[in-house]
Structure 1
Amino acid sequence: MEIVVIGCGKVGKTLVEHLAIEGHNVIVIDINQKNVEEIVNTYDVMGICGNGAIHDIQLEAGVNKADLFISVTSSDEINLISCLIARKIGAKNLIARVRNPDYASQISFMRDGLGISLMINPEKAAADEIARILRFPSALKVDTFAKGLVDLAEIKVRPGSKLVGVSLSDLNRKFKTSVLVCALQRQQKVYIPDGRFTLEEGDKVHITASHKDLEKFMISAGIYERKIKSAMIIGGGRIAFYLTKQLAEIGIKVKIIDNNEKNCEKLSALLPKAEVVCADGTDQDVLLEEGIEYMDACVSMTGIDEENVIISLYASKCNVPKVITKVNRLSIINMLESIGIESVISPKDITANQIVRYVRAKANKGDSGIETLYKIVDKKAEAIEFIANKNVSFLGIPLKKLKTKDNLLVAGIMRGNKLIVPSGDDFIKAGDSVIIVTTNSFLTSLEDILA
């Protein structure tokens, strides 16, 4: 696809990386010459230094011939104006980054009225992911499919766990539930396992199941942690606002610590159910005074990665049961695990995944639509939800009779409101939501699963 991206900040750089890897022709525009040069020198893309909201700059970049125009600058207004100009020039599809909470209630109106195909909010998406983890604290990470009816949870096999030594073929019988292990990371290797695989200490396991079956499995396996009732959030940015609104709705008591007085006053007015403290969240005395030792969860998301890491380490030392860390530099995520920080979120990476899902959906062959896409296991595998339509060539054929690609698994079939944990005798029908987990790259349709 011919794609133009405006904005070479943190989100833009991550997005260009994903799009370039997938083989798209990308042109970037940014007012900062250094940012443009850095991206052009790193990836196989072209760059223009200039204001992406200017008609002539867009024409120079070939927006009139673009299959997709994406504006992800730090200004919502520039992003919206850029999309309006791009639509007028002739760009086929438009994506805008819109972050301001004041616009949240107008997203549908702006999308339909302005002709923007997709509006993304990295902070809201990050808050959604953190909220899912806090609702299921036994997991390192939780993603959802089929409009929230199916969970994909990442758990770690701890020393002494009941899971050690259990073969996957015996898993459901032993724990009397219905789950499917669809991906596994052992040390640095990633596997799409079959029933012969035996779990070992230290394994990171990705499991698909309904919410009810996942909870039942964790209780039976002895890894269930009690529900979160209180959470301390360090850093009062947009993510904190969106997250606190969600947590308050499910009865979690939230305390926000931020060192900006005006920001604290604004949050206090907008979030009456939360306690907002104006103080330095990196100060040990402040954290102790505000009761970090008695919290069920700590979420560190200041604007500085190093501060977030230090706060999370201290929270872990204080035996806070669930610690979540926001980072911008993806290069440090693997290092964090080695020091005990396991639940990590990156807003820019979440946003890039959303856009890649949209791009893949536009590129599919028409037999199925991509509903959801997640990069899992340190981006070494993908979990993709397709909606099968009547054009899929293997409808009604038992899965055991299909010749599928290596390192690929049908991890779930959602038929109506029922999740089918697939066996070889199960089959796909038109209208099913089908979850595929694979280490193969760039699947755009269900037909791509065939060898």
Structure 2
Amino acid sequence: MRVLTLGAGTVGHWIADMLCRRRHDVVVVDINSDRVRQINSELDVRAIEGNASQSTVLFQADVCSADICLAVTGDDEANVVAASMAKALGARRSIARVYAPAFRDSSTFDYQNHFGIDALLSLEQLSAFELVRAIRNPDAIPLEHFARGHLEVYEIDVEPNAQGADQKLRDLKLPGTVRIGSIARDGEMWLASAEDEVHVGDRVSLIGIPAEVNRSRTLFTGPTHRPKRESVMIAGGGEIGFHIARALPESDYRITLLENDAERCTHLAKLLPDATVVHANANRRSVLEDEGGGAVDYFVACTGSDESNIMACVEARELGARRVMAVVGRPDYANVVGKLGIDHVVSERDVGARQILGFLNQGAVISRSILPNGKIGVFELEIVEGARVADATLAELPLGGRCLITAVQRDSFIRVPTANDQLKVGDVVVALMDLNYMEECLALFNRSSRL
């Protein structure tokens, strides 16, 4: 594929390197002449010096023939503008990396829709979601990049005497924003239908709006099930730490967040009223002792420094924290962290690489993922003009048992559909597919599809 990368800084360089290794045709644009010379000498790419927000530079980089444009400079506003221009000038798909949370918060203004960008990429938010998944449910499926982060998938085992046990799915009183996507039993997993029953010991996946998914879990836990409220200490109040604290529900977790910057602490305290925000240096053992770091269920280090994160985790582990996790970016630290007893490590590069590779798809497919069992895929699909699914209701489509559409995004609104919902050109859907029928199902979403 032809990939246009705007920005040759740390992020842009490793993206270009990664895509070159996978034999993609990569063009890089950067305003810094030294970076352009460096990347031209080190990688098999075409690097151009220029301002990525100028149309003449984009035309010079052959934006019209680009399959995907990745705007990853160090400036959020420049990325949004450049990605929007690239899309308007002919790039098939356009992605902008953003740091500030405001760009991904569509409640006040929908930047993605307004600027016509296919996706806004936040490495910090993706890393936070990965850590949240490891805390809330290690076996949960990380779908945070689907439906613009508004959907959650949560896997749960059906416990004895659960209200939902031995009932057909159509009889369960699930919220309208939640669906059961799959059922796993005796080593087999299949897409759920209204006539399926869930039994004790089954593992079901709940898909929907996070708050409603959290409430729906009680259908599958026993009447005496009262999970204890676990404690989480977060070292670092940057964007990763903020997203972790915001994503963990107060009803299930007691959050303590340590941040060394006083002004940032004041800001976080306003944004996170249910968390305890402490102005302190998490790298000091005495601070961890005073704040109870040795007694927490989860200790997460995300200070912005690999070395500080590793040291804080080692201290927390020695003090008695049950599980310790860290954000570590440098690949050469990978072997070290395991030997130091750190339970879970997240790399922004690895998380970002998985996301970017998911965007490199043809046709209607925007991104894809595969569930851990390897038999079911999760696809984000655009409804394109001329596709069989366009202007058809879900009930009219031959999807049964092979494809389950779990969410529909139209403009800036996302909903869980019913059988009578009609798909329109421009809609984006999240669908679970049996991979044995993947090609057959995807054909329905492409322009050349026929029944």
Shorter-chain TM-score above 0.5: yes
Cα displacement (A) at 1:151: 5.0
Q: Compare 281-290 and 91-100 and name the one that shifted more.
A: 91-100
Match of 2:94 in 1: 94
User: What is the deviation of 1:352?
Assistant: 2.5
Q: What SS does the aligned partner of 1:143 have?
A: coil
For 1:171-250, list aligned pairs within 5 A. 178=185, 180=187, 210-211=204-205, 229-250=230-251
User: Per-residue deviation at 1:228?
Assistant: 5.9
Provide closer, same or farther for how the CA distance between residues 435 and 234 of structure 1 changes in structure 2, counting only shifts above 3 A.
farther
1:227 Cα deviation from its structure 2 partner: 5.9
Q: Pick from 364, 369, 373: which aligns with 1:373?
A: 369
Distance 2:116 2:329 in 1: 31
Match of 1:434 in 2: 433
Deviates more, 1:105-114 or 1:233-242: 105-114
Counterpart of 2:52 in 1: which secondary structure?
A: coil
Partners in 2 of 1:370 and 1:71 — Cα distance? Answer: 17
Alpha-carbon distance in structure 1 between the residues aligned to 2:347 and 2:368: 18
Q: Deviations over 1:195-247 (max 9, x none)?
A: xxxxxxxxxxxxx95359xx9xxx9xxxxxx7661111111101111211111
**Aligned 8 A contact 1:293 1:319 in 2:** yes
Unaligned runs of 5+ in 1: 153-176, 183-207, 220-225, 397-411, 418-430, 438-442
Deviation at 1:359, TM superposition (A): 1.3
Aligned to 1:273: 274
Q: Contact conserved, 1:234 with 1:300, CA < 8 A, in 2?
A: yes
Shift of 1:130: 1.4
Q: Distance in 2 between matches of 1:104 and 1:74?
A: 17
CA contact (8 A) 1:257 1:276 kept: yes
Shift of residue 41, structure 1, vs aligned partner: 3.8
8 A contact 2:127–2:346 mirrored in 1: yes
The verdict on how the C-alpha distance between 1:36 and 1:383 changes in structure 2, with shifts beyond 3 A counting, is farther
Alignment of 1:42-441 (within 5 A): 42-106=42-106, 109-136=110-137, 139=138, 143-144=142-143, 148-149=152-153, 178=185, 180=187, 210-211=204-205, 229-360=230-361, 363=362, 369=365, 371-373=367-369, 385-386=378-379, 433-434=432-433
**What does residue 176 of structure 2 align with?**
none
Taking structure 1 as the reference length, what is the TM-score of the superposition?
0.65
Q: 2:170 matched to which residue of 1?
A: none
Contact 2:258 2:279 in 1 (8 A): yes
Q: Do the aligned residues in 2 keep the contact of 1:301 with 1:308 (CA within 8 Å)?
A: yes
Cα separation, 1, equivalents of 2:97 and 2:25: 21
What is aligned with 1:187?
none
TM-score, normalisation: structure 2: 0.65
Paired residue secondary structure (1:308): helix
- Equivalent residues of 1:141, 1:343 under 8 A apart: no
User: Following the alignment from structure 1 to structure 2, what is the Cα–Cα distance between the partners of residues 39 and 227?
Assistant: 52
Secondary structure of 2:142's partner?
strand
Say if 1:123 and 1:179 are closer, same or farther in 2 by CA, change over 3 A. Answer: farther
Shift in Å, 1:78: 0.7
Structure 1 residue 178 displacement after superposition: 2.8
Given that 2:5 and 2:27 are in contact with CA atoms closer than 8 Å, whether structure 1 keeps it comes out as yes
Is the CA contact (8 Å cut-off) linking 2:29 and 2:47 kept in structure 1?
yes
2:421 is aligned to none
Question: How many angstroms apart in 1 are the aligned matches of 2:433 and 2:321?
Answer: 37
Structure 1 counterpart of 2:43, one-letter code? Y
CA distance in 1, matches of 2:84, 2:68: 13
- Conserved 8 A contact 1:97-1:120: yes
Closer/same/farther in 2, CA of residues 141 and 18 from structure 1, 3 Å limit: farther
Cα distance in 2 between the residues matched to 1:209 and 1:116: 37
Q: CA deviation at 1:54?
A: 2.5
Which whole-Å CA distance do the structure 2 matches of 1:149 and 1:413 have between them?
Answer: 19
**Contact 1:327 / 1:345 at 8 angstroms: preserved in 2?**
yes
| AA aligned opposite 2:339 | S
Q: In the superposition, relative to structure 1, how do residues 385 and 249 fare at CA in structure 2: closer, same or farther (>3 Å)?
A: same
Aligned to 1:22: 22
Sort the Cα spacing of 1:178 and 1:72 in 2 relative to 1 into closer, same or farther, 3 A.
same
Match for 2:266: what amino acid? Answer: E
Whether the 8 Å contact between 2:294 and 2:317 is mirrored in structure 1 is: no
C-alpha displacement at 1:114, in angstroms? 1.3
1:70 alignment partner AA: L
Identity of aligned residues (%): 27
Aligned partners of 2:377 and 2:115: how far apart in 1?
29
The structural deviation recorded for 1:140 is 8.5
Instruction: Please give the alpha-carbon distance, in whole angstroms, between the structure 1 residues aligned to 2:287 and 2:328.
Output: 22
Partner of 2:161: none
Distance of aligned partners of 1:311 and 1:132 in 2 relative to their CA distance in 1, 3 Å threshold: same
Are 2:371 and 2:378, in contact at CA under 8 Å, matched by a contact in 1? no
Equivalent pair of 2:376/2:434 in contact (CA under 8 Å): yes
Aligned length: 348
Q: CA deviation at 1:308?
A: 0.6
Match of 2:384 in 1: none
